[in-house]
Amino acid sequence: MSESQDDSREQIKAERHQQRQQKVKEAVDAKVAEAQEERGVLMVITGNGKGKSTAGFGTVARAVGHGKSAAVVQFIKGGWECGERNLLQKVGVPFVVMNTGFTWDTQDREKDMQACEETWAPAEKMLSNPSIDLVLLDELTYMVAYHYLDLERVITALKNRPPHQHVIITGRSCHRSLIELADTVSEIESVKHAFDAGVKAQVGFDY
Ligand code: ATP
Ligand code: MG
């Protein structure tokens, strides 16, 4: 093949690419133009992969970075100090943390139910407070899965929240009713996790 034939083939390829991209751009622009509604979004971040809570906290940081007000409720208090809490409390983000050491291997159901109730009460208040732009309900899914928290109460509070308020729920095994109610649902899949290769949870990365 001559050099000039080569050049014209490259040119045709470039033109076709440009035409395809133009079509993609038109389709995206049309969708962007269509999406005009502004309102609070209910998001669920679930699945077995790592990154649910970090995505929730990332959105809190994003909101605060824009001067919005955010609040966090943590329904599981692990054994570890939470790095995000250390940072976000300094910039005035209120945190409510379940006051027992509720973990996955809980033994005392009565005590945990009581702790859940005490944690849900301030969460419910946040969900009726129009001055809060974003509420992160970290690990809420387990409270519903364990029947510590009545699903209908959660749904009522979410439905009645201020229209502009965003809410993020994280945790595995999310109840299908919450998934149905949510506007945005992301399921994080675990492809691999360092823990399975014997790497321990490390400060500043895992918590
Ligand atoms: P992260 O807080 O890192 O975003 P997560 O919220 O998605 O994780 P959780 O189920 O809340 O996940 O788990 C809390 C802890 O367990 C974290 O320290 C996390 O690193 C670890 N973890 C998360 N996913 C896995 C997994 N697939 N295997 C082992 N450990 C995990
Ligand atoms: Mg989590």
The topology under which CATH files domain 40-190 is: Rossmann fold (3.40.50)
pLDDT per residue as tens digits for the range 71-96 = 999 998 766 789 999 999 999 999 99
pLDDT, average across residues 90-109: 79
Residue 51's pLDDT is: 98
Task: Report angle CA 198, 204, 207 to the nearest 5 degrees.
Answer: 70
- Give the Å distance between the CA of 69 and the centre of ligand 2: 21
Substitution site in 50, 72, 138, 207 for ligand 1 pocket (most atoms within 8 Å of beta carbon): 50
- Give the Å distance between the CA of 50 and the centre of ligand 1: 5
8 Å CB contact between 188 and 45: yes
Whether the CB of 53 sits within 6 Å of ligand 1:
yes
d(CA 105, CA 17): 55
Contacts of 146 (CB under 8 A, 6+ apart): 112
- Give the Å distance between the CA of 144 and the centre of ligand 1: 19
DSSP of 78-137: -SS--HHHHHHHHTT--EEE-SS---TT---HHHHHHHHHHHHHHHHHHTT-TT-SEEEE
d(CA 164, CA 154): 18
Range with the lowest mean pLDDT among 93-102, 139-148, 178-187?
93-102
**Per-residue tokens: 108:** 């005392």
* Confidence at 1, pLDDT banded by 50, 70, 90: low
3-state secondary structure of 18: helix
Task: Report angle CA 147, 168, 201 to the nearest 5 degrees.
Answer: 80
pLDDT per residue as tens digits for the range 12-38 = 999 999 999 999 999 999 988 888 889
Whether the CB of 129 sits within 6 Å of ligand 1:
no
Choice between 3 and 139, residue whose per-residue pLDDT is larger: 139
Whether the CB of 195 sits within 6 Å of ligand 1:
yes
pLDDT per residue as tens digits for the range 133-148 = 999 999 999 999 999 9
Whether the CB of 83 sits within 6 Å of ligand 1:
no
pLDDT over 80 (residue 2):
no
Per-domain boundaries in the chain: 1-36, 40-190
Residue 78's pLDDT is: 64
Q: Which ligand 1 atom is at minimum distance from the Cα of 139?
A: 11
Residue 80's pLDDT is: 76
8 Å CB contact between 160 and 151: no
